[in-house]
Amino acid sequence: MTNPAPYVGDLLRDAPKNWGKWGPNDELGALNYLGAAEVLQAVALVRAGKVFTLQVPMGNPVGDPVWPGRRGAERYQILDEGYWTVGKGPSFPGGLHYADDAMSAFLQGSTQYDALGHVWYDGQLYNGYDANSTIGGMAKASVLPIAERGVVGRGVLIDMAKYRGKENLEKGETFDHEDLMAAAAKQGVEITPRSILVIRTGWIETYFRDGKEEFYDGFVEPGLTYSPALVEWFRAMEIPNLVTDTIANEVTVDPVSGVALPLHCALMRNLGVTFTEICDLRKLSDDCSADGQWDFLYAAAPLKVVNGTGSPVNPIVLK
């Protein structure tokens, strides 16, 4: 019989926090590190006019890769030429016809930003807000402040799959900050303080290559794994935003402690690091490999969803 996983609050009892660093009412967390100087530094990296978008398509006929228990986006056709064909289309002066549709989706059912209050323990969200403030909608630390501010800074892509000589990392395969720095050195790029950290594992690509049954069979994603040293590295490096091509941005269950998603708690809840998940990074990585430029201007603005726990987003990279 295996020992039960420890309570995450005990695991992170001495973990550092950024609560109060930007005032008692802050809902942006480590995004506060991205000021005018960081934006201008990122703008200087745009040299060739290349544009990349990082969102995985929503409402894909083959299904959308989402966290188990959620469903992918569902698009509904409301109006099209068929209505006029059978004489049921609305009539407008001048005779125009048009199409209309709607979508039902989890706000975290696509490429998305997490609200800082999305995950918590000990009854407190980021910055010490009461977990009861989530009832009926996120009154505090929702995605809205992030959306109203927007995210712009120097992004740096670390391709862990290519570093390890693979098309994609395997289920449950882990890496840490030491691996990230080693991969960066091999790529010839530096992870500087306040960089937006973009990590490719190749994991989301397996959904479309191998199919959803294989993707979800024994579901344990590859990713970063918890350690006090890794958390301290994120704190000291003042990383504002973690972006990956996985659903959770970390290995699903920590292989040492057995705790599920401890980095959501240690980085997001405690340090205010914003998480961006389910990105498509293949084209960007291939281009970075070709031209040798692994840093770039990263820009993103999630939808302004009032009280939302997250929001779909289509991040843009400029090189």
Q: For residue 238, is it within any domain?
A: yes
Residues 223 and 111 in one domain: yes
Q: How many other CB atoms are found less than 10 A from the CB of residue 204?
A: 25
Tell me, what CATH number does 21's domain have? 3.50.30.50
Q: Are residues 100 and 203 in the same domain?
A: no
How confident is the model over 64-90, as a mean pLDDT? Answer: 95
Residues 264, 115, single domain; the answer is yes
At 177 the pLDDT is: 98
265-281 mean pLDDT: 98
Rounded average pLDDT over 170-185:
98
**Is the distance from CB of 113 to CB of 105 less than 8 angstroms?**
no
Average pLDDT value for residue range 243-256: 96
Instruction: Compute the residue count for the chain.
Output: 319
**pLDDT at 1 (0 to 100):** 44
Residues 276 and 190 in one domain: yes
Q: Is residue 58 part of a domain?
A: yes
Q: pLDDT of 147-168, one tens digit each?
A: 999 999 999 999 999 999 999 9
pLDDT digits (tens, 9 = 90+) for 14-26: 999 999 999 999 9
Domain that holds residue 90: 74-104
The verdict on 82 and 213 lying in the same domain is no
- Residue 305 within a domain: yes
Q: Which residue in 248, 66, 215, 244 sits closest to 155, CA to CA?
A: 244
| Number of domains, the chain | 2
Q: For Cα atoms 141, 314, 301, give the angle at the middle one, nearest 5 degrees.
A: 40
72: which 2 tokens? 């992918």
